[in-house]
Structure 1
Amino acid sequence: MKLSKKQAVFENEVLMRFELFNSLFMTLPFYQVKHTGTLLPFFTTHCERGVAEKLDPEAIIESFFEQYEQYIGESDRIDLLFRIIQYIERQVVLFDAVEDAAFRKTGRSDEAGLLDSVFKQTENNKELRSKLVKKLNDFSLRLVLTAHPTQFYPGPVLAIITDLTEALKKNDIHNIHLLLQQLGKTPFMKKNKPTPVDEANSLVWFLENVFYPVASAIQSKIDDEFDLPIDENKQLIELGFWPGGDRDGNPNVTVDSTRRVALLLRTILFRCYYRDFRMLKRRITFSGVEKYMDVLQDLFYENSFNPSDNPENEKPAIIHNLKEIKRVLVEYHDGLFVELVDDLLRKVKTFGCFFATLDIRQDSSIIRQTHAYLREKHVSAIGIAADFEQLSEAAKQQAFKFEAHDLSYDESAAALVADTLDVIRSIKDIQRFGGERAAHRFIISNCQQASDIFELMELFLWSGWDSESLFIDFVPLFETVDDLTRAADVMQALYTHPYYTAHLKRRGNQQTIMLGFSDSTKDGGYLMANWSIYKAKIELTAIARQHDIDLVFFDGRGGPPARGGGKTQRFYASMGQEIANDHIQLTIQGQTISSQYGSLDSARYNIEQLLHAGLTSHIGRKDGDTLSVEKKQLIEYMAHVSHEQFLALRHDPLFLKYLERFSPLKLLSQINISSRPVKRNSDKELRLEDLRAISFVTSWSQLKQNIPGFYGVGSALKKAEDTGKWEQVKELYETSGMFKTVIDNCMMSMSKSNFDLTSYIQHDEVFGGFWKKMREEYERTKQYVLKLSGSKVLMENYPVERESIAMREKIVLPLLIIQHYAIRKLQKGGLEEHDREVFAKLVTRTIYGVVNAGRNLA
């Protein structure tokens, strides 16, 4: 088969170079067991052959030990497996670095997605250019870094990846050799679970080294293209931050960690400013600027290296002194080096004294519990009826008084109640030293009714805030299929309530609504989750427009297609006229942060892709993106068929038992990657509704079955064909960017599946039929998505990404065999306690490399 041009470049620049440097890496003497590097290629080939022959993992590994017994003593066998895991983890890092180094050459995505194409499109069309400039004043992109536990690379490894990538770009063989040695000797494991502040420290690396320069550079590029003055332009790229603020289901997040993270963000930002200022100081050595430079020198230095626990918002002072320096340069020094001042000014306008907005998130049940506590404790002051909980939703909405009080709690308050009240007071402090944008959003998870929002608003008013200075955006989060169907009614109640209407007016009539993806996939399956969110967006947009509300959708997407990830920018490019798309806000989660935003090149590319998607959906909207009634009915029909199939699987009594028996689900809590528990209600027996979506998706991805990313799609497409709707489905795929992206992302999820790996389960007396049912749906889905897309192989239209996935899957196959081997040993029982611990550790150690290699698996 003839390679495409992109495939040929990828093969030369990535695959061949990886094999070359991997050969070097394998010869380095890192570990105690002899021949590990020599044996690994043979072990990989042995695993591939065993999977092809549908052998179980025990047979594969034990036959390998027998075949190479002259090299592997019986006492060395388990130790060798651990060493193989360590090698493969580092092979994944090497492949990441090689691929990132070749990023510009491989053209991994369609070049039409870059901002330059937008500029070119409008350069000879004044009307279109004017329209784009107007859109830039209304549009914004906010990327929110979350603390979800899939970022497995510790800080030192991230730094090695960065340095190795640069060395590979330059073909610096000496440094590559040294960095490979460093990589081999640098631990990948954390001895203790990270705290929320530890998680913040890990993610701050990306803010400091990637987002700080890239966001400013893109803003500068747009300013220069359209000749926009710095003082008048609107900030286009915003950053958000969840570590330390996201307390939903995470009792380890406290008011202390929230405040410490806010101060950390501020301090790191000032260090960025200080580095830039030092360059400014080396160039601007002219008379007339001394006093302004001295002020900035002290201000940047003290806030960087002697930060106060109770600082002030220095943004006005910084801007004033930079503008004065600029004035002197323009008036007396021919504007020499004024561009350096403009660059720092732009960064200060973008990041202020906060760097990234610290979002606060808590579950509605905790909000209700806190409101009830204060109602009962201060009944005489508040005067709300004692039977408040028994009132209807409409009566509750009428009962709120929205009066300012300064209420306290005592030692009788539950820990989460106390934390909720403390963090509400702490937000005011954070806004004081970082500015309003430092912390202005409170997200209510599991929001089911308007009273959930009103109760939170009253908690603010009872904690020292007043209506006129309530500089907070209250953000409902709708996630399950049921919550999404109720979302429009909740927002209608809010928009028609006089107090909330007045609050929104003070907030510029802008309302943010968060739509989560992960739990809706777990709840309703892949196709129903996508359609439920899309349909909710249409309904919510219509209501917002009726009330003249500037609606912002904040999408909880990230990682794999099963959690709303994949080709995210294509969703935004395909929003029709019925969906508000003036602002793009989304979560960036787990290893997606390092894979898509881990280097300057990849971050710039992915940010520009999202900007391009948002801007072109206005200036170049396709007719098919606004769905007709008939097309909506068709998707609705298929979504329900898919939903029924998924529910039938999910309600099977073997569903959760299968995950617990064959996946590493039970052991996820033992890996030190997150401060967040694997499931809600961690002290109770495991229930599917308590299982976090990230653990749910991770477990399926470790099995290489990826059920949440495709299950039910094949049945839906087959049913459409059987009922004479196939031609309509084909037209839908060809004309609707949204539906095409749903199917293409489904193919991506399936490309990372490998049912041959677990084919031995089909012979299991208990679970054999359950496995066959999933395999049949996989084959059915594969057959129909290939037929629909006119492809011969999955992801045929994305050859570079397909090749990348195939190589990554090849690298980690031995990890999966080791993992399933260890799980089977544990399931069989009869092991001594020490041996149980060893095999459990084997399982947990394999998870890291598998997820890191997948880049968007969890």
Structure 2
Amino acid sequence: MELSKTIRLLGNLLGQVICEQESPAIYDIEERIRAASKARRAGDVGAAEMLAHEVGNLSAEQARAVAAAFALYFDLVNLAEENHRVSTLRDRVRDRHPEAIPESIDAAIKHLKDSGTTLGEMDQLLNDLHIELVLTAHPTQAKRRTLLSKVFRIAKQLERLTHHNLLPAETEEIKTQLYAEVTTFWLTNRARTSNPEVTDEVRTGLYFIDETFWNVLPRMYSELQNALDRYYPGLTISKNWLMLASWMGGDRDGNPNVTHKVTAETLRLHRGLAVEKHRAAFRKLSRLMSFDDKQLPPPQELNHWFEEKRPLPPHLAFLNERYSHEPYRLALALLAKELEYASREDMTQHLVSDEPHSAYIQVNALTHPLGIIARAVPEQIKEHELSPLMHQLNIFGLHAARLDIREESSRINSVVGEILRGLKVTQDFESCDAEHQLEILSGLLEQPAPKLARYAGITEETAETWSVFKLLARVKNIYGTDLIGPFIVSMTESAADVLAVLLLAGWAGCTDGLQIAPLFETVKDLEDSHAVLETLFMHNAYARLLRDCANEQMVMIGYSDSNKDGGYLTANWELYQAQENIAAMCKKHAITLTLFHGRGGTVARGGGPANRAILAQPPDTINGCFRVTEQGEVISSRYANPSLAHRHLEQIVSAVLVASSPQRKNKEIPRAWRSTMDSMASAARKTFRSLVYETPDFLQFWQEVTPLIEITRMRIGSRPSARRSGQQKVTKIRAIPWVFSWMQSRFNLPSWYGLGSGLAAAGDQDTLKEMYAEWPFFRALLDNTEMSLRKADMGIAELYVSLASDTVFAQQTFATIKAEYNQTLEMLLTITGYESLMQNEPRIQRSIDLRNPYIDPLNYIQVEILRRLRQLPDESEDAQVLRETMILTVNGIAAGLKNTG
């Protein structure tokens, strides 16, 4: 079915639901508002006034219903577009067969072969290859998990509708089911009744591992090996090179709800999913492998393994009698039974207790016998039935995904300071400068660990942080080192921030296999990052840790706070140079580097097409190693549909392979381009900070002309919106609400502000055009901004300006913003040579243009709701209804723009 027909079908079903569940009158109001909005976009002079009049006359209940209609419409349109993308992708694969489609794993390996990559170079690339996706629960997923499940069910029905051999009765049945699903969606409250708990977010992440990653990741392994067989016969890759990790339940930075007990429960939930998935797979294989021992005699190795398991549990003894000549079935049934016993283990209690304990089963107890079976059975059965399970065991183990631990440097320093006061080492560790802190830590790291019994004066907060280190030691002692990812130190400013973690880890006894990853976030910290690393590399205690980790160092760079600190252009250039400097420093000290990219969903937070971003990284900084966050709503948009998830993952793998090719490593960036970037970044930063940090009352302007305050009160995530409550500063408000609020009000300011001034400061437009044509980094920088500018709308933004209490100041500030917007737009079109934004992406350009008339009414309603809401006491009944409508507009605008924070 064509996309337009699918959207029309879903739109008609929604219209019927509105008439039936609300009233025909509500449907008529929604249609009048939609018509006025389309007329406004078409240039009708009086349409804007008509639209404002219609919205202004809505009662609170009518506003709620109309907002719900537009919000649900976008949920349905997004599903239709995703379904269409899957169909288009399948057609492309079919039409090009046997040739690979662009940006696939096969195409990447062919490119490497054609560009002269030798067998030895390819072997080295494969040895270095390590890609890890890190799921995070930052509060950018504005939709409830209950609604996500309904979205997925509608998607399944749309997928059925694309089948070409449906009978008429089957088509009608699907439409009937779609109508029922849309009705249940309409009748479900979009607003959460309470903030989601951390374990709710953990379960959401595990949902995607269960439904998508569990089957898609093994396919990537098979596809890479198939491509190697085709272009590099005889070359195999047996290591784990594509993995998952998570921050959900381990990200403590600014979130007091993530306690050590919550982390222990998170690990239990992870293990529970993995054990159940593997148990189901072994039970299925047991029924499948009913091979008679005379037809396929078992190897002696399997017989010995089986004998070691006697006496058998009662259930297995019964099967042994019944299927005595089917040893493969029995062996697999026994493994399934052992996993059943493992599922009953109270992991959380074992982790928070001090009682001795051993894990019931380790993953090698499964892979060893399965490997024996794999070597014994016919190749076809091994390839189609056993290999996927072997991959799943190797990828997910018995922990589903590694759990990273993240904590802010100031919290760690506070803990160290308090303990040192208790030990009477020093009274003012936190207030010491970085050099003095380094001196104190260096001395302590060379001394035996003290006995840290409870002593007078320790606060509950410090005890909680210390408990995390003790928990990590317990996890590694009982379940091994595979469960835990790196310890990430956010807001790292100095080597002492990292060594403080090492000190606590050493005292707790959890340094075995520990990776400590500094996170550099602000512009200054990015500039200092390589110097911080050199101090660490030359430090005796840290050098010992590195040797234990095979001289591998992970470094995380933050795209969000650097943007809020210096603006889009400056942040991206500082990030680029920081990566170059970090890579050079690691190379100097013979350290293997993995750069961990803290990207969000929006352009302002490092978002954009992942493959384009990877290929735009500095030469010689990836080298097969790539780690990136997948945050909030990005997870559902990329990984809800397994076919689209597969496409996204193969594009990532393809880009990492191509970016790591020997031919790209030594590519030099012309000095003139660097000089141009330096001058542009300086001008852009000046413009950005002049507005955001030097304009008096800018914070008040931001709070009044965006739904910032209302968003921070929404029950979106478990983490507070600011690092410390009660502090009214731009620097203290997190980057996510910073981006989210500007996106909602259609300014999209963080994704472009300052860029126009920066580009204008370059002067030489020919150089800029040359950079755009030949430098992937600069091209990606501008292409990503195009998308943001296309989604921005100064006309809609001006509606929000009318909410400001100081109208003169607000209009002056808006005039400054609009002037920069116009300059950015003009400079972009001049450099790209386009007549309009996104001209080179006509499909996306058309999608945005078609969506705008449906997003605009939600903005008009949101402005009206904000106006009314801000005049009412918080506890009033009317305010509660308006807040519910506010959530509907936030959801709808996010769905329409396909972006939150």
Q: Same fold (TM over 0.5)?
A: yes
Relative to structure 1, the CA distance from residue 829 to residue 769 in structure 2 (aligned partners, 3 Å threshold; closer, same or farther) is farther
Q: Is the 8 A contact 1:680 1:691 kept in 2?
A: yes
Deviation string 1:684-728 (CA, Å, 9 cap, x unpaired) is 14211110100111110111001110011111112223xxx2111
Quick one: which amino acid aligns to residue 769 of structure 2? Answer: K
Moved more, 156-165 or 616-625: 616-625
Which residue of 2 is the match for residue 413 of structure 1?
458
Which residue of 1 is the match for residue 165 of structure 2?
none
Task: Report how far residue 479 of structure 1 moved.
Answer: 0.3
Relative to structure 1, the CA distance from residue 55 to residue 478 in structure 2 (aligned partners, 3 Å threshold; closer, same or farther) is farther
- In 1: Cα distance, 2:240 partner to 2:416 partner: 37
Which residue of 1 is the match for residue 818 of structure 2?
775
Task: Report how far residue 558 of structure 1 moved.
Answer: 1.4
Quick one: which amino acid aligns to residue 819 of structure 2? Answer: E
Task: Report how far residue 86 of structure 1 moved.
Answer: 1.9
Q: How many residues align?
A: 824
- In 2: Cα distance, 1:715 partner to 1:730 partner: 16
Relative to structure 1, the CA distance from residue 368 to residue 341 in structure 2 (aligned partners, 3 Å threshold; closer, same or farther) is same
Relative to structure 1, the CA distance from residue 36 to residue 313 in structure 2 (aligned partners, 3 Å threshold; closer, same or farther) is farther
Deviation string 1:13-67 (CA, Å, 9 cap, x unpaired) is 334421232112211245334433343222122245467678999974444576x
Deviation string 1:475-529 (CA, Å, 9 cap, x unpaired) is 1010011111111111110011111111101101000011001011111000001
Instruction: Find 2:772's aligned residue among 733, 742, 758.
Output: 733
Which residue of 2 is the match for residue 222 of structure 1?
224
Task: Report how far residue 645 of structure 1 moved.
Answer: 0.6
Which residue of 1 is the match for residue 377 of structure 2?
329
Aligned pairs for 1:103-122 within 5 A = 103-106=85-88, 111-121=101-111
Which residue of 1 is the match for residue 536 of structure 2?
494
User: What is the TM-score normalised by the length of structure 2?
Assistant: 0.86
Instruction: Find 2:592's aligned residue among 539, 550, 553.
Output: 550
- In 2: Cα distance, 1:831 partner to 1:481 partner: 39
User: Which residues of structure 1 form unaligned runs of 5+?
Assistant: 1-11, 67-75
* Equivalent position SS for 1:223: helix
* Equivalent position SS for 2:818: helix
Asked whether 1:513 is paired with 2:555, we answer: yes
Deviation string 1:268-326 (CA, Å, 9 cap, x unpaired) is 12222233223312311122324421321112333446765444452011111211222
Quick one: which amino acid aligns to residue 813 of structure 1? Answer: D
Asked whether 1:212 is paired with 2:260, we answer: no
Instruction: Find 1:748's aligned residue among 782, 787, 790.
Output: 787
Moved more, 801-810 or 384-393: 384-393
Quick one: which amino acid aligns to residue 268 of structure 1? Answer: L
Task: Report how far residue 407 of structure 1 moved.
Answer: 1.2
Which residue of 1 is the match for residue 679 of structure 2?
637
Q: Is the 8 A contact 1:360 1:442 kept in 2?
A: yes
Q: Is the 8 A contact 1:624 1:737 kept in 2?
A: no
Aligned pairs for 1:606-621 within 5 A = 606-619=648-661, 621=663
Quick one: which amino acid aligns to residue 194 of structure 1? Answer: P
* Equivalent position SS for 2:778: helix
Relative to structure 1, the CA distance from residue 197 to residue 841 in structure 2 (aligned partners, 3 Å threshold; closer, same or farther) is same
- In 2: Cα distance, 1:352 partner to 1:569 partner: 28
Which residue of 2 is the match for residue 354 of structure 1?
399
* Equivalent position SS for 1:113: coil
Task: Report how far residue 254 of structure 1 moved.
Answer: 0.6
* Equivalent position SS for 1:847: helix
Which residue of 1 is the match for residue 849 of structure 2?
806
Moved more, 411-420 or 387-396: 387-396
- In 2: Cα distance, 1:48 partner to 1:625 partner: 49
Deviation string 1:159-205 (CA, Å, 9 cap, x unpaired) is 33223223212314343333323322333332110111111111211
Instruction: Find 2:33's aligned residue among 43, 52, 63.
Output: 43
Moved more, 414-423 or 687-696: 414-423
Quick one: which amino acid aligns to residue 63 of structure 2? Answer: L
Task: Report how far residue 416 of structure 1 moved.
Answer: 2.7
Q: Is the 8 A contact 1:714 1:784 kept in 2?
A: yes
Asked whether 1:579 is paired with 2:621, we answer: yes
Identity rate, percent: 26
- In 2: Cα distance, 1:219 partner to 1:623 partner: 25
Instruction: Find 2:421's aligned residue among 376, 385, 404.
Output: 376
- In 2: Cα distance, 1:829 partner to 1:766 partner: 24
Which residue of 2 is the match for residue 159 of structure 1?
149
Aligned pairs for 1:276-675 within 5 A = 276-286=281-291, 287-304=326-343, 308-309=347-348, 310=350, 311-330=359-378, 336-337=381-382, 339-379=384-424, 384-385=425-426, 388=429, 392-399=433-440, 400=442, 401-402=444-445, 403-409=448-454, 412-432=457-477, 434-465=479-510, 470-619=512-661, 621=663, 626-650=668-692, 651-675=694-718
Deviation string 1:732-770 (CA, Å, 9 cap, x unpaired) is 111110110010011111111011113356783231111
Task: Report how far residue 581 of structure 1 moved.
Answer: 3.8
Asked whether 1:676 is paired with 2:719, we answer: yes
Which residue of 1 is the match for residue 317 of structure 2?
none
Relative to structure 1, the CA distance from residue 55 to residue 820 in structure 2 (aligned partners, 3 Å threshold; closer, same or farther) is farther
CA RMSD of aligned residues (A): 2.8
Quick one: which amino acid aligns to residue 73 of structure 2? Answer: Q
User: What is the TM-score normalised by the length of structure 1?
Assistant: 0.90
- In 2: Cα distance, 1:336 partner to 1:618 partner: 35
- In 2: Cα distance, 1:488 partner to 1:831 partner: 49
Relative to structure 1, the CA distance from residue 435 to residue 55 in structure 2 (aligned partners, 3 Å threshold; closer, same or farther) is farther
Instruction: Find 1:31's aligned residue among 21, 36, 49.
Output: 21
Task: Report how far residue 642 of structure 1 moved.
Answer: 0.6
Moved more, 57-66 or 354-363: 57-66
* Equivalent position SS for 1:440: strand
- In 1: Cα distance, 2:780 partner to 2:730 partner: 28
Q: Is the 8 A contact 1:576 1:625 kept in 2?
A: no
Q: Is the 8 A contact 1:352 1:434 kept in 2?
A: no
Which residue of 1 is the match for residue 81 of structure 2?
99
Moved more, 30-39 or 647-656: 30-39
Relative to structure 1, the CA distance from residue 57 to residue 792 in structure 2 (aligned partners, 3 Å threshold; closer, same or farther) is closer
Moved more, 689-698 or 273-282: 273-282
Relative to structure 1, the CA distance from residue 33 to residue 77 in structure 2 (aligned partners, 3 Å threshold; closer, same or farther) is farther
- In 2: Cα distance, 1:567 partner to 1:447 partner: 28
Q: Is the 8 A contact 1:196 1:253 kept in 2?
A: yes
Relative to structure 1, the CA distance from residue 576 to residue 493 in structure 2 (aligned partners, 3 Å threshold; closer, same or farther) is same
Aligned pairs for 1:656-735 within 5 A = 656-682=699-725, 684-721=726-763, 725-735=764-774
Deviation string 1:612-643 (CA, Å, 9 cap, x unpaired) is 11110133756996412221111111111111
Task: Report how far residue 347 of structure 1 moved.
Answer: 0.8
* Equivalent position SS for 1:437: coil
* Equivalent position SS for 2:22: coil
Which residue of 2 is the match for residue 72 of structure 1?
none
Q: Is the 8 A contact 2:121 2:662 kept in 1?
A: no
Relative to structure 1, the CA distance from residue 391 to residue 620 in structure 2 (aligned partners, 3 Å threshold; closer, same or farther) is closer
* Equivalent position SS for 2:377: helix
* Equivalent position SS for 1:252: coil
Q: Is the 8 A contact 1:251 1:416 kept in 2?
A: no
Moved more, 338-347 or 569-578: 569-578
Q: Is the 8 A contact 2:74 2:895 kept in 1?
A: yes
- In 2: Cα distance, 1:485 partner to 1:124 partner: 38
Quick one: which amino acid aligns to residue 81 of structure 1? Answer: A
Task: Report how far residue 338 of structure 1 moved.
Answer: 5.3
Task: Report how far residue 335 of structure 1 moved.
Answer: 6.2
Which residue of 2 is the match for residue 178 of structure 1?
180
Relative to structure 1, the CA distance from residue 30 to residue 615 in structure 2 (aligned partners, 3 Å threshold; closer, same or farther) is farther
User: Which residues of structure 2 form unaligned runs of 5+?
Assistant: 93-99, 162-173, 292-325, 351-358
* Equivalent position SS for 2:553: strand
Q: Is the 8 A contact 2:253 2:407 kept in 1?
A: yes
Quick one: which amino acid aligns to residue 170 of structure 1? Answer: R
Relative to structure 1, the CA distance from residue 321 to residue 405 in structure 2 (aligned partners, 3 Å threshold; closer, same or farther) is farther
